Structure 1
């Protein structure tokens, strides 16, 4: 899923830069850097590692003021390759960044991530002002590539086919004080015909459980109250060694870490979703009752064409088991419409599964051919047909989502306040966070009551429901709840 600039990183930068002049930021450092992220949670996690290796080499984070003034020494774009619009955004961004070079010729520009892994030579040819291109397996090599580009005066490319360092072995600058990403595995062993991830991330490799738990404990010591476990197929952790119960054990072990309030994970694969994982979710108090599990299609014929190793009935059975164990579970999904060969009958099968599944929300994508994948060589559907199906499915899901949001009205929720801000928080005097099943909540502070800080847990009464968010403007005089811990 493609996203814009990481708002949590922007918020962290504002805090880090308060009261510090450009001169002070650069004193005794190699310069200032800025990292922009396009892509999924794995990319956001990688950006924290990119920031970590730069800081370890003496660079400091740029303030938003420095970025706006184009006074940045190193600019890094961490890219996504999942959909075509992410590719276009990448080239558009590095095109705009060319102006930084024109303003400040010694600025160094680096491009990393999945597109860099996939299209390294094309990037250098299309954007010769880029100084360094580094792959998903080469984050630790970035400072050396920048130094060599500065010395040699020409672009440097560092893209390896073998993973050098598992994520936990690289330093990180966490984008949030209260929430942390922890990667438990990298790569993917599946062969979905629409997906470029295995070719840019490689085969799946698991970290040791001790290594993961050590990082989780370190995060908590640094102030994190919520940890998200990451993997391309997070619940297949341990399967490569024949241990199909490893992920459930990991969830329970994380639940025993003192001080950790919330654990979530993304994204599980339906084929590897076992009953022991459901039991671990239900029986571990700190595991959030939140599940994001990609459906992709409700048509078994299309699932076969996608090489997805489950069928719609199996998917729905998992949801039934999850809801039986956790009736309040928030379940979200990813769906592709317009996959090559999809008929109206196939599409109606997807609509039927969505009606039955009652997802809290869904990320719906029009199929985007990715060069190098089998599906890109299949006959493609007309754009108008795909667009029509997208709009019909989105309208159905929006109506279901609104019903789900309205069910929160009048209920008490516990909200973990985040480091970022909602678009209107300043004018509405609210703070923003997520309740225990992951729904975004904007919390109003009652008159005369203390305002929560990032990382605080607020218990409050929901007073309004939006299409994709909740508002809690509690009035204690009317018996509504507002409390901080």
Structure 2
């Protein structure tokens, strides 16, 4: 009987039969939060595999047949702690049935609440900070020996996570971190506390990692940082980021380069020029506004005002008319008046963002804004709904402009509904999600292929391309 045919009880009853397949144990990493957390989870997986652990299959996870579960946490939202304790509480039920199961908690909440986690969830085996990913295997070993929770949380960076082994979730689209930490002091943000001051990687190290990604089959990389366009400021080179973008343009086989997220205050003309002039740098930009009120921006300690923000947008669109620009907006920041909120609506209408990540303000303990006078929830909720309705309209109007146009899409797989519709899924060059129907008689594109197709319909948040070549519409595949 092979392992796939065994029940979880049979596997547990005969560990020697499957010990080689399980290594030091089957593990699963559950990720909450931003792209940086997603990339950190790839490093967590890489470190565990290098130590002899084996990633669990989806079937094994569904059957709760795992030996180690790692929760990589986020601390940005108010309910982050509730989500963390709720999740590890659910996992405790699994541990009651599988006493040898180890549970580890890492990431930003671990950096903040290290001692509280051990008090409230004593069944947790290991707690490790954002700068301690490489220490996880040793913490787990020590927990097995002592039965006591093991904690290691450093406040100072001694090693870039990028120097650790990695198990990338996608083979064709990779994350590459160019910096960690943040030097800004936004009053609503906990990131400088959890991630520390900004530290930049050497350009040569970044480019070497990008080259390794391409050598291993990646066709797209996304450069990551809490504030990518301040890259190099610490060493006095304010052009370092634009130089890095241009250097990526000379890497053979690298089809697409993206980056996230820049800070408007540091978005300079040389970066715009590098984006416009480097063929493999995509004209996609996440540009966080946060508020359209200068008074609120000042209270947030955002070091720009709306006039500067809109001036930069004008420059970007002059250089790249096809640029798709998304943003972040916080509704209900302490002290926000109806006049302030109307200013946000006015800027959103003028900026014409392709999409927006909109958030109701939630106080994070330890941030200056948490001590400010909060706004009534019903008032904030009503404003939030107005903003969402406005952005939904703008998004729909923007997507409609793609109808009838040919777009080049890098295939990443199938969407949730694509199996029923026989479509494949990917993103076109400016980042829009596209579902493509394969015309009868044509080969089905594979992951990593590039398909040029005519957009036939704009959905609410994506594009549909069901081209009919007999009617002159386009469908072609490039491997």
- Normalising by structure 2, we get a TM-score of 0.96
Question: Where does residue 154 of structure 2 map in the other structure?
Answer: 160
Matched, 1:340 2:334: yes
Q: How many Å separate the matches in 1 of 2:320 and 2:18?
A: 52
Q: Equivalent residue for 2:373?
A: 379
Partner of 1:66: 60
Q: Do 2:131 and 2:161's aligned partners in 1 also have CA atoms closer than 8 Å?
A: no
Task: Answer yes or no: is the 8 Å Cα contact 1:264–1:287 preserved in 2.
Answer: yes
Identify the match of residue 459 of structure 1 among 441, 446, 452.
452
Work out which of the residue numbers 391, 399, 402 in structure 2 matches 1:408: 402
CA drift at 1:25: 8.0
How much does 1:32 deviate?
A: 1.1
User: Does the 8 Å CA contact 1:138/1:164 hold for their aligned counterparts?
Assistant: no
Partner residue, 2:142: 148
Question: Per-residue CA shift, 1:137-160, capped at 9, x if unaligned?
Answer: 000000011111111001111111
Q: Measure the CA separation in 1 of the matches of 2:6 and 2:213.
A: 26
Which residue number in structure 2 is paired with residue 362 of structure 1?
Answer: 356
Aligned to 2:475: 482
Which structure 2 residue ranges, 5 or more long, are not aligned? Answer: 12-16
Contact 1:26 1:60 in 2 (8 A): no
Given candidates 420, 433, 437, the residue that maps to 1:440 is: 433
- Unpaired runs of 5+ residues, structure 1, are 1-16
> Do the aligned partners of residues 473 and 201 (structure 1) sit closer, same or farther apart at CA in structure 2, a change above 3 Å counting?
same
| Mean Cα deviation higher: 189-198 or 441-450 | 441-450
Query: Is the aligned partner of 1:473 residue 2:466?
Result: yes
The counterpart of 1:428, out of the listed 417, 421, 430, is: 421
Cα pair 2:22 2:53 within 8 Å, conserved: no
How far 1:28 sits from its partner (Å)? Answer: 6.9
Residues of 2 paired with 1:103 and 1:424: CA distance?
Answer: 36
> In 1, distance between residues paired with 2:200 and 2:330?
28
Q: CA deviation at 1:87?
A: 3.0
Bigger Rg, structure 1 or 2: 2
1:120 to 107, 114, 125: 114
Structure-2 residue corresponding to 1:8: none
Q: How does 1:179-328 map to 2 (within 5 A)?
A: 179-328=173-322
Partners of 2:443 and 2:117 in 1: CA distance: 51
Which of 380, 383, 393 lines up with 2:387 in the alignment?
Answer: 393
Between 1:410-419 and 1:226-235, the stretch displaced more is 410-419
CA contact (8 A) 1:186 1:205 kept: yes
Shift of 1:19: 11
Could you say what secondary structure the match of 1:308 adopts? coil
CA contact (8 A) 2:22 2:54 kept: no
The structural deviation recorded for 1:18 is 9.5
Give me the CA root mean square deviation: 1.5
* Secondary structure class of the residue paired with 1:351: helix
User: Residues 461 and 474 of structure 1 are in contact (CA less than 8 Å); yes or no, is this contact kept in structure 2?
Assistant: yes
In 2, distance between residues paired with 1:94 and 1:475?
A: 51
CA 1:25/1:34 → structure 2, altered by over 3 Å: closer, same or farther? farther
Matching residue of 2:14: none
Counterpart of 1:14 in structure 2 is none
Cα distance in 1 for partners of 2:268, 2:72 equals 34
CA distance in 2, matches of 1:292, 1:175: 22
Q: Is the 8 A contact 1:76 1:111 kept in 2?
A: yes
Higher mean C-alpha displacement, 266-275 vs 474-483: 474-483
Which deviations, in whole Å up to 9, do the C-alpha atoms of 1:296-331 show, x marking residues without a partner? 001000000000000000000010000000000000
Task: Rate the CA distance shift 1:239–1:99 in 2: closer, same or farther, 3 A.
Answer: same
Q: CA deviation at 1:89?
A: 2.1
Which TM-score applies when normalising by structure 1? 0.94
1:26 deviation in Å? 4.3
Deviations 1:261-310 (A, max 9, x none): 00000000011100000000000000000010100001000000000000
